Structure 1
Amino acid sequence: MVDLSQPSGRTRCRVRNSRRLAISLTGAALAWMCSTQSMMPRAAAQQTYSGPSQAYSGPSQAYSGPSRYASPQGASATASIDSTAKPALTAPGQIRSLRPSLDPSTSSVSSSSISSASIGTLPTAQSIQARREALFRELADEFDAFDRLGNLVRKVSQLVKPSVIHIEAHKSETKGGQYESYDEAGSGVVIDTADGLWVLTNRHVILGSQPAEILLRSADGRQYHPSRILSDESTDVAVMKVPDLRLPPARTGDSNQVNIGDFTIAIGSPFGLSHSVTFGILSAKGRRDLSLGDQKIDLQDFFQTDAAINPGNSGGPLLNLRGEVIGLNTAIASSSGGSEGIGFAIPINMAVQVADELIRHGRLRRGYLGVTLEPDFTVSDLGPLQAVATGGAKVKGVRRGSPAALANLQRGDIIVEFNGSHVDNDDHLVAQVGLTPIGSVVPMIIYRDGKRYRTEVKLTDVN
């Protein structure tokens, strides 16, 4: 263990939700059931959304501000002197009228005095049309610049849609002694692996279904059934091998390079409406403390996006404007059951790594460190160390003979860096360790008794 003289750290920002929302996985259970004697016919697979249409019925709003063509100084073209008022004299014996006399012989007001009276001019039809044409030209110029963004969205949609799969998984279960049969809609995306083409999706979309009960449909209407299914409970990632799959694989990006505020596009099957496209931004990164209903996902590191994600989007791709997959849409936070602008996606680097482990080894081989962490430890508990550290995970216990014990970790140590990456909290460290390749020798930075140390640990398989 080496004593480091120079402290280091990175800024940690963690947003806590002050509003209680139900966070749920986004597989869509469709609204029909089957009896115990017969399965649902496949003709029912093509569904259309029949929910109530929503039309705006609020009060109409009309512009009631000042006229664009108001006369200078508020003068009206039809204003006149009140006959009962006593006029003010501008010169002895001369009245200055706001309305010129129609009789030139009786008028004492010159043409110069008429123009100085600030008489307003009503716009003509020609001037209004000219102004409208000018505005149309201005809008056209501004639209040309703005439409470049819309053109990107259109191109990304056209490019990636052929790689997106609509999934209908037939499921059955017994509740309260009554047998129920139903289809659950979801999404998937074709990826290229060392073992050829596979369909990447969420585990909860196909959980409980046999390969023959899973229908895959491409954007051009072709239908498939998987021959092999592999999944991991700790990450909610699954892959399916499909015979004779002749669809273009999606291009995957580097999710480590994604930043908050980047534009995102989600493609999926919300409420069974296959290959729907929505648009938004990346709202946050590193969401790791989500409670996802009845399913426990141990290794969390979600992206948050406001691109509309609804039940049925699960397993579909989250894209950047380069047409690259940066995430796998998985869950939503909602008090209504629909999209409220808070969706979550597994970073694609993590999803592809898990998929590769499943394909190569049949399961995810998780890294094992051998420590128990303090779940209530926060930045405020760092005390004087807050000047040099902005996060970390506190060791509550060390298992005998574990990799942590061999690395001389002790109770009370604060792990602030693992494998060259800053540690935000205990959930972050669990995710990092779990996804580190087995047998790797990993450097760590810890604080002990106010001093900074460096050590190394060789991870083993948690199983």
Structure 2
Amino acid sequence: MKWFGISKQALAAAVAGAGLTGALVYVPQSFQQADAKQPITIEAPQGAPLSFADLVERVSPAVVSVNVVSEQEVSGMGNMEQFFDRFRGLPGFDDYMQEREQEEGEDSQPRTREARSLGSGFFISDQGYIVTNNHVVQDATEIEVVLEDGRELEATLVGTDPQTDLAVIKVTEPGKYPYVEFETDAELRRGDWVVALGNPFGLGGTATAGILSADGRELGGDSPYTDFLQIDAAINRGNSGGPTFDLHGRVVGVNTAIFSPTGGSVGIGFAIPAELAVEVTSALIKDGKVSRGWLGVTIQDVTDDMAEAQGLAEVRGAIIADVNDESPARKAGLKRGDVILSVNGRDTTDATSVTRMVGKLLAGSKNEFTVLRDGKRQKISVTVGERPVDPNALVPSSRDSSGSSGGDAEEGPLGVSLRPLDSTARQALGLDEDEAGLIIGDIDNDSPLYEAGLRPGMAILSASYIPLKSVKDLEKAIDEAKAKGRDKILLAVRNGQRTQFVTPEITSSSED
């Protein structure tokens, strides 16, 4: 299973990934002596089955264990590097390590070693197609599946989709295989029973039961296209890629992650919903990949503070922070500061909804975007492109230069000194040659700009969408916002080669 956190930091440190590590814990149990004169009887709760045995027996033949061999790169010292790190800095140690590396020569260079991992999967057709997780088969050199009857079959990779953590593999041995179907019509409700099957810690054929705890969970990170199902059926390492069933034996989710401070199940597991899994796996079987629409923009949620700073009554949509060069968005005329309100007539709610809407568009198709620009709605026709494998690779990374340029900084409002961008700073920040903006020189620790995250070397590009060519432009924008009774102002701030909108307080200025 993957590791996620409740917050972006905590969740990233707490969710467990697919692997075979752990220990069996035997807990003493005590039982109350039954009265021999009275038989023990159990009644099922209202709406619950007395046993899941029939369901498990029916679907188990379609569930498999997935054994993967992959190659991992290690240094010449292998796992000893972490051991040696604790001694670095001691007198003479660095000289010793340098001599050691010279003696080892080629042995000190990175090399690969064989690694093994375990996961789960399930047949979705009688032709041998199996669904599992991308992180289970990622970088696999060999894939073997173990059926319920103990047969070990070789499998090949059909396709993967890292964005949803789904993958399809296929057994090479011809034949007809038992399979299960996805359930995409019935709507699960919180509290509905679910049953998970898989291969936790290598214990194949393990069944656990629980309820749907919540749906529509967003875990962020590398999963912008998925609203996860949260279940409390026990999910552990090795369950990755296994199915979650409803009481009719239909697959409602693909197990992919757990929240866990310990690495074991604490009753918070996450599954990819069946509707998305059907869409992705069908594309993988057909084309070996998933093609998604692409705008080529960096977007943020429109927050309450942003709406207040702009005098907006409604708070929704996504604001464009950056537009990539040669992107479909730039060619169509979308600009930094545009708020995307709808796509083809469907209202957006936040940056995630925009990402998903655009991702479902066909590459090369023409689509209508409604944006808010300078307080007015505009409709812009955009021909979307195909999403690159790594869109971030198209955005220049931050350079060593902080973006600062020569010249004296001028004292500005809100406890900051500023100077206009020059060609050197624009190049360092990845901006167009004619882009306006002000480089931050010094900033007071009690400045509202400092509290908003601004630091020396960053550039303020605009205030309330007004390009800043001088300190007077910023002062004017702040005065106009105050005259309209606003407590905050919307600033476009360039940090490295990425832009972000922030909304610092303006009423706390020392000028007041």
- TM range, normalised to the smaller chain? 0.5 to 0.7
Residue 364 of structure 1: CA displacement?
2.2
Match of residue 432 from structure 1? 357
Could you tell me whether the CA contact under 8 Å between 1:418 and 1:444 is conserved in 2?
Answer: yes
Equivalences for residues 73-112 of structure 1 within 5 A: none
Equivalences for residues 306-345 of structure 1 within 5 A: 306-345=232-271
Residue 433 of structure 1: CA displacement?
2.1
Equivalent residues, number: 344
Specify the SS of the correspondent of 2:290: coil
Match of residue 10 from structure 2? 20
User: Aligned pair 1:393/2:393, yes or no?
Assistant: no
* Cα pair distance change 1:262/1:451, threshold 3 Å: farther
* Cα pair distance change 1:162/1:340, threshold 3 Å: same
Specify the SS of the correspondent of 1:167: strand
Equivalences for residues 121-136 of structure 1 within 5 A: none
User: Aligned pair 1:198/2:129, yes or no?
Assistant: yes
TM superposition outliers: structure 1 runs of 4+ over 6 Å: none
Residue 255 of structure 1: CA displacement?
7.5
* Cα pair distance change 1:306/1:423, threshold 3 Å: farther
Could you tell me whether the CA contact under 8 Å between 1:255 and 1:347 is conserved in 2?
Answer: no
Q: Which has the larger radius of gyration?
A: 1
Specify the SS of the correspondent of 2:251: strand
Specify the SS of the correspondent of 1:200: strand
Instruction: For 2:123, give the aligned amino acid.
Output: V
Aligned mates of 1:160, 1:443 — CA distance in 2: 45
* Cα pair distance change 1:437/1:290, threshold 3 Å: same
Equivalences for residues 297-312 of structure 1 within 5 A: 297=223, 299-312=225-238
Residue 330 of structure 1: CA displacement?
1.0
Aligned mates of 2:305, 2:186 — CA distance in 1: 28
Could you tell me whether the CA contact under 8 Å between 1:30 and 1:184 is conserved in 2?
Answer: no
When the two structures are superposed, what TM-score results if normalisation uses the length of structure 2? 0.58
Query: 1:162 aligned to 61, 69, 74, which one?
Result: 61
Q: Deviations over 1:299-340 (max 9, x none)?
A: 443222222111001011122223221221111121101111
Aligned mates of 2:324, 2:370 — CA distance in 1: 19
More displaced, 221-230 or 252-261?
A: 252-261
Could you tell me whether the CA contact under 8 Å between 1:227 and 1:240 is conserved in 2?
Answer: yes
When the two structures are superposed, what TM-score results if normalisation uses the length of structure 1? 0.63
User: Aligned pair 1:29/2:2, yes or no?
Assistant: no
Instruction: For 2:167, give the aligned amino acid.
Output: A
Where does the alignment leave 5 or more consecutive residues of structure 2 unmatched?
A: 79-111, 389-512
* Cα pair distance change 1:394/1:267, threshold 3 Å: same
CA RMSD of the aligned region, Å?
A: 3.6
Match of residue 263 from structure 1? 193
Residue 24 of structure 1: CA displacement?
3.6
Specify the SS of the correspondent of 1:149: coil
Aligned mates of 2:191, 2:377 — CA distance in 1: 35
Aligned mates of 1:354, 1:183 — CA distance in 2: 26
* Cα pair distance change 1:413/1:353, threshold 3 Å: same
Where does the alignment leave 5 or more consecutive residues of structure 1 unmatched?
A: 1-14, 32-49, 62-124
* Cα pair distance change 1:358/1:215, threshold 3 Å: same
Equivalences for residues 41-52 of structure 1 within 5 A: 51-52=24-25
Match of residue 224 from structure 1? 153
* Cα pair distance change 1:298/1:256, threshold 3 Å: farther
Query: 2:27 aligned to 21, 34, 54, which one?
Result: 54
Could you tell me whether the CA contact under 8 Å between 1:215 and 1:223 is conserved in 2?
Answer: yes
User: Aligned pair 1:188/2:125, yes or no?
Assistant: no
Match of residue 119 from structure 1? none
Aligned mates of 2:184, 2:344 — CA distance in 1: 18
Could you tell me whether the CA contact under 8 Å between 2:158 and 2:284 is conserved in 1?
Answer: no
Instruction: For 1:280, give the aligned amino acid.
Output: G
Residue 440 of structure 1: CA displacement?
4.0
User: Aligned pair 1:247/2:177, yes or no?
Assistant: yes
Could you tell me whether the CA contact under 8 Å between 1:168 and 1:215 is conserved in 2?
Answer: yes
Instruction: For 2:120, give the aligned amino acid.
Output: S
Could you tell me whether the CA contact under 8 Å between 1:30 and 1:185 is conserved in 2?
Answer: no
Specify the SS of the correspondent of 2:135: helix
User: Aligned pair 1:275/2:205, yes or no?
Assistant: yes
Residue 53 of structure 1: CA displacement?
0.9
* Cα pair distance change 1:307/1:404, threshold 3 Å: same
* Cα pair distance change 1:322/1:421, threshold 3 Å: farther
Instruction: For 2:250, give the aligned amino acid.
Output: E
